[in-house]
Chain A
Amino acid sequence: MKVTRILIWLPLALFAILLVVVATGIVKPGDRTIHSRMVGKPLPAFTLKPMVANKPGLSPQGFREGGPRLLNVFATWCIPCIAEAPELMELKRRGVAIDAVAVRDTPGDVRKFLARHGDPYARIGDDAKGEVQLEIGSSGVPETFVIDGQGKIAMQHIGAIRRDDIPDIMAALERAK
């Protein structure tokens, strides 16, 4: 009889637990972004042809000669990429070396994009089939990876870079030196 008296509160207790679970989900939604598991690992081997005539293409070799660099995964058909263009220009102005992987893009579109929104890139690789994007564990555009001087992926920034993301990225570049 005593057991039943305790058991009678069980549904209410379960309801309270459910309520807490739902409430935390509303107050603090979970992290739905898909982080690359390649962070902390060296860049995988790849070779990308140059996307535009006046800039070299891209391979991990280019990240092993000197200081840390940014690897920006972008596309001209991606609207947030336009939004982050001024911030990439700001990073370039601060002396950051930036390379790019252009995903599923065409040279003509890229030329027009750079003429219109500024050109922060030292190298642009043509990732026509999105192969390098998959290779480095990027799940969308734009994404920006901090690569240290040894060609290791030090950090991944998912989504467009906003003005208030710049200190974090500068700090990561500093750490990657």
Chain B
Amino acid sequence: MKLSKQVKDDLRSYLKSHIDSHVSKVQIIAPYELSMEEIALIKLKIPSIAKRDVEVVTDSTILAGFMIKDGSRLMDYSLKTKLQSLFGASNQI
């Protein structure tokens, strides 16, 4: 006996909704308080977080840009990290 397509689809949507409701919020770390338009623009550019719940955290030490943190995964577009990597690279010369 095999599972029918209908059963599979129902299972899939149920599991997905369950997982989505338990998953943690995505954190956007920005140097200042982001406006709604800015958050929407970020969501547009990065489709993987478009449907997720977003939490904005302000951290002025990142200087400029922003970081997107999802659990232990991080997308780092901050100026601080760019400067740090430059510092590391210049030490090798």
Query: A and B from one assembly?
Result: no
Q: B residues near A, CB below 8 A?
A: none
Q: A residues near B, CB below 8 A?
A: none
